[in-house]
Amino acid sequence: MGFDIFFHALLGVITSGSFVFVLIGVLLGLCFGIIPGLGGTTALALLIPITFSMDSLDAMYLAGGVMGATSFGGSITAILLNTPGTAPNAATTFDGYPLAQQGRAGEAIGASATASAMGGLIGLITLMLFIPLAKEIVLLFGPVEFLLLTILGLVAIAVSSRGKLLRGLIAGGFGLLLAFVGVDTVSGHTRFTLETDYLWDGIPLVPTLTGLFAISQMIELSLKGGSVVTERVNVGNLTGLWKGVVAVFKHWTVLIRGSFIGTIIGAIPGLGGTVASFIAYTSTVQSSRDPSSFGKGNIIGVIAPESANNAKDGGSLVPTVAFGIPGSAETAVFLGILVLHGIDPGPTLLLENEREVYGLIIALTMSAVGASLIGLLTARWLVKITFVNVNILVPLVVTISLTGVYVLEGKPGDVILALVMGIVGYFMIRFDYPRLTLVIALVLGETAERSFHQSLMISDNNLVGLIMERPQAIILVLATLLTLLLPALRKRAKKPT
Amino acid sequence: MSNRIIASLSCAAVILFGAGTATADWPEKPIKFVVPYSTGGGFDVYVRAVAPEMEKILGVPVVPENIPGAGGQKGAATVYKSEPDGYTIGIFNVPGLTVPPLLGKKVAYDLDQITWLGNLAKDTYSIAVKADSPINSLKDLCSLGRPAKFSDTGPASTSSVTAKISMSLIDCPMTNVTGYKGSSQTIVAAMRGEVDATLKPIGSLQKYVKSGDMKFIVTYENKPSIKGVSSSRELGHNEFEKLTLYRIVGGPPGLPKDVADKLADALLKAANSDAVKEWSAKSKKPLDPIGGAEASVLMRDLSDFYSKYKTILAE
């Protein structure tokens, strides 16, 4: 039912020549994705004034092109430099970078490109299938479910830190601490804002991430010296690339699981690609037969997060097609662009502005595939970055990242924060504290606290009673318990009788 | 003696001349129009509709800049602290911003000192519930046997303040469930049934009623504007219609009069232009522009009005 409109619109794009806007969007998205500190939301926000004079449909093509390309672009830096280009690529560094160090960067990029394209497509197909149920899906997830989901996420943190449980928990705890800085949405009191305006809304995510991952990594690289690749391996060959592409299809269950997780988490407002890729990675490791092989260059460790962070794009459109409301920072910008064109997004958005919504979906589809193709074609040259000496690489990346951070809102505070977190991140690398754990806790902390208070108010302080009334909440509780108990259960299963 | 006179006269001349030249060539660079919320929201669209028209009148770019945060306070503080050189103005969410100072909270702006330039619109409030709710009237809402739950974004937002005051005036027990991210989430909350009702401008709720997801139970106005929905005055609650959301524009304290007048004039002309009127009709955003002097009077009346409710708000 939605598919014939989809194909009609697809034909329209190709024949009208407007697909050039998609292409421009893809190139922009790739660039913004690759550069640490810049990302999809920044790119889209900068595009808003430009779209003002464009036709609304063309604006959607441009925006969709950007959005579908950034998470693949970011995986390139994640793999080559251990520096996620965007937050949702953080989990890709775990296995992507070791692969690059072993000279298998081509393979990793090939896998990432394919997983991103396939994940994006699966996410969008799922969206189209569920359009008739979109309203029900949005209404299914309220503050209670958000709370349980964030708890699930935090539990996943604890569980994923096997081997360094204490350090994982400390990092997570520190992340939560940072999450609570700012104005409390319930009481209106300020907490730890150090009497500055800057920290009013809490600690901003992008400068923190840039510092924690990009700057710290550059400090580490510069102290180490040499270049990224430690072994002398011939990387120019394309077989590595093809091997990566094939690996995605070989491990199709990983692809499906990653995409599934990405789509679902994308549909829930406030969680985003970072949480999606992290949970996809963690659950894949957990359910693998050989968990200890991860973190050392297991190609599956690239497939899982990369499929999730693209699948989320499809999922994030569910609230938009249901009620015309944003489900993520990027979709909020889309809707802003529509508003500027005189469209008032609401529950009838899909009915009244079918053109624009399907235009966006088409653009996302073309972008997911297009970005990956461009990535595959240019991989041979991109991979050469791993051979560049750090004395050139480090200053370049640091300058570009900090500029990117400053460009966001023009606040010097962001740059200072990035530098501070860079130093914190460096010490975390040195002493082997997981940085992604800190980030996930930072992302989830605010939603967790807010949802907790809301759930209490809604349930008249009878939270357990409310959970019992909602089947979706009960399922989440069970999933959390399962996540907690799975490692212990497996240990028992492995013990010789 | 005469030396002194000459000295003070020349000083005066220099000052007048200096002040004259400072503002004589205004405007010569772009003007920043601060929006205290993110792109796409209610305030944002008004500014983006009006700014291009102001640009035509003043001959320099008028650039909207989104400075979201702290329920509109960040944007307000930015304008308050900026140089009174006529190159920064902003739109303010009133009466939301009047509340924190009333409750004794430390804020980085002073609404009494802002140079008011004009008001663009007044939004009428209304209460809505989900379409299949057993609640069909204000009376139903207040006789639930427990406090009625309203959804809102934060405790100091204009709508939560309006809800608190109006419900207190009719002795209707209520609580605000706050913390939702954005007003669309508060409306979805009502649809889910996790709160009983939500109080929002009619314009924001209209599309959800049209689609059959929500229904109005009362509007805060004199004469009912929606068929089948009682107005507050019909029900005998005369104070409610004074509780409205304003889209008021202002500049930093100490703005020279001639610059302020030019800005106010440009704003009013822009709001009354054909392009903006067309936009207003197309996107169903009401327009009711008033000029600078009237806006100042309006603000004074508003702060007096809301200070009456200090005790209710402090609960």
* CA–CA gap between residue A377 and residue A121 (Å, rounded): 20
- Could you tell me whether strands B125-130 and B198-201 are parallel, antiparallel, or unpaired per DSSP bridges? antiparallel
Residues of chain A neighbouring B182 (CB-CB closer than 8 A): 325-326
Which residues lie across from B130 on neighbouring strands?
A: B214
Letter for the amino acid at A27?
L
Chain B's closest residue to A325, CA to CA, is B184
Q: Which are the contacts of A417, defined by CB distance < 8 A and separation ≥ 6? A: A203, A204, A207, A208, A211
* CA–CA gap between residue A91 and residue A94 (Å, rounded): 6
| Digit-coded pLDDT (tens) for A389-416 | 778 888 888 888 888 888 777 788 889 9
Q: Which are the contacts of A328, defined by CB distance < 8 A and separation ≥ 6? A: A266, A269, A272, A312, A316
Residue B47: other Cβ atoms inside 10 A: 24
CB A323 within 8 A of CB A138: yes
Task: State mean pLDDT over A136-153.
Answer: 87
Which residues lie across from B197 on neighbouring strands?
A: B150
CA atoms in the 13 A half-sphere facing the CB of A18: 22
Of the candidates B108, B154, B283, which has its C-beta nearest A197's C-beta? B108
What pLDDT is recorded for position B18?
A: 46
Q: A176-180, A361-365, A420-424, B156-160 — which is least confidently predicted?
A: B156-160
Residues of chain B neighbouring A142 (CB-CB closer than 8 A): 189, 192, 194
Of the candidates A185, A344, A453, which has its C-beta nearest B284's C-beta? A344
Residues of chain A neighbouring B184 (CB-CB closer than 8 A): 323-326
Helices (DSSP H) in B61-115: which residue ranges? 73-81, 99-102
* pLDDT of A451 above 50: yes
* CA–CA gap between residue B225 and residue B233 (Å, rounded): 12
* CA–CA gap between residue A352 and residue B315 (Å, rounded): 44
Alpha carbon A430 to chain centroid, angstroms: 25
Q: Is A218 exposed, middle or buried (0-12, 13-18, 19+ CB in 10 A)?
A: buried
The backbone region for B237, taken as left when phi is positive above 0, alpha when psi lies in -120 to 50, beta otherwise, is: beta
CA atoms in the 13 A half-sphere facing the CB of B237: 23
pLDDT bucket at B20, cuts 50 / 70 / 90: very low
* CA–CA gap between residue B57 and residue B80 (Å, rounded): 25
Name the range with the highest mean pLDDT among A152-166, A225-239, B161-175.
Answer: B161-175
Q: Which two tokens stand for residue A44?
A: 């889209």
CB contact under 8 A, B283 and A333: no
Q: Is A225 exposed, middle or buried (0-12, 13-18, 19+ CB in 10 A)?
A: exposed
Nearest to A25 by CA among A283, A411, A420, A362: A362
* CA–CA gap between residue A68 and residue A368 (Å, rounded): 5
Q: A237-241, A448-452, B12-16, B300-304 — which is least confidently predicted?
A: B12-16
* pLDDT of A258 above 90: yes
Name the range with the highest mean pLDDT among A166-170, A205-209, A322-326, B130-134.
Answer: B130-134
Nearest to A102 by CA among A295, A291, A251, A382: A295
- Can you tell me which residue has the tokens 């966001």? A408
Letter for the amino acid at A285?
V
CB A171 within 8 A of CB A437: yes
What pLDDT is recorded for position A123?
A: 93
The backbone region for A381, taken as left when phi is positive above 0, alpha when psi lies in -120 to 50, beta otherwise, is: alpha
* CA–CA gap between residue A118 and residue A115 (Å, rounded): 5
- Could you tell me whether strands B148-151 and B174-177 are parallel, antiparallel, or unpaired per DSSP bridges? parallel
Residue A481: other Cβ atoms inside 10 A: 12
Residues of chain B neighbouring A324 (CB-CB closer than 8 A): 184, 207
Vertex B97, ends B160 and A269: CA angle to 5°?
A: 55
CA distances to A61, A227, A471, B21 from B261, in Å: 43, 63, 61, 17
CB B270 within 8 A of CB B58: no
* pLDDT of B218 above 90: yes
Q: Is A325 on the interface with B (CB under 8 A)?
A: yes
Q: How far apart are the first and last CA of chain A?
A: 55
Residues of chain A neighbouring B185 (CB-CB closer than 8 A): 269, 325
* pLDDT of B27 above 90: no
| Digit-coded pLDDT (tens) for A81-122 | 888 888 899 899 989 988 888 878 888 999 999 999 999 999
- What is the pTM assigned to this prediction? 0.80
Of the candidates A185, A333, A342, which has its C-beta nearest B282's C-beta? A342
Identify from A180, A325, A338 which residue to disrupt to test chain B contact, counting B C-beta atoms within 10 A and taking the largest count.
Answer: A325
Query: Distance from B33 to chain A by nearest Cα, in Å?
Result: 14
CB contact under 8 A, B74 and A197: yes
* pLDDT of B19 above 50: no
3-state secondary structure (DSSP) of residue A187: coil
What pLDDT is recorded for position B21?
A: 44
pLDDT bucket at B88, cuts 50 / 70 / 90: very high
* CA–CA gap between residue B62 and residue A412 (Å, rounded): 24
CA atoms in the 13 A half-sphere facing the CB of B243: 31
Letter for the amino acid at A40?
G
Query: Distance from A346 to chain B by nearest Cα, in Å?
Result: 6
Alpha carbon B51 to chain centroid, angstroms: 17
What pLDDT is recorded for position B2?
A: 57
Nearest to A386 by CA among A91, A100, A34: A100
What is the 3-class SS of A78-130, one letter each residue?
A: HHHHCCCCCHHHCCHHHHHHHHHHCCCHHHHHHHHHHHHHHHHHHHHHHHHHH
* CA–CA gap between residue B108 and residue B166 (Å, rounded): 28
Letter for the amino acid at B307?
S
Give the start-end residues of each E strand in A223-369.
Answer: none
Q: Look over chain A and give the mean of its residue pLDDT values, rounded to a whole number.
A: 84
Nearest to A303 by CA among A279, A284, A288, A275: A284
3-state secondary structure (DSSP) of residue B65: strand
What pLDDT is recorded for position A238?
A: 53
Alpha carbon A147 to chain centroid, angstroms: 20
Q: Over pLDDT 90: what percentage of chain B?
A: 30
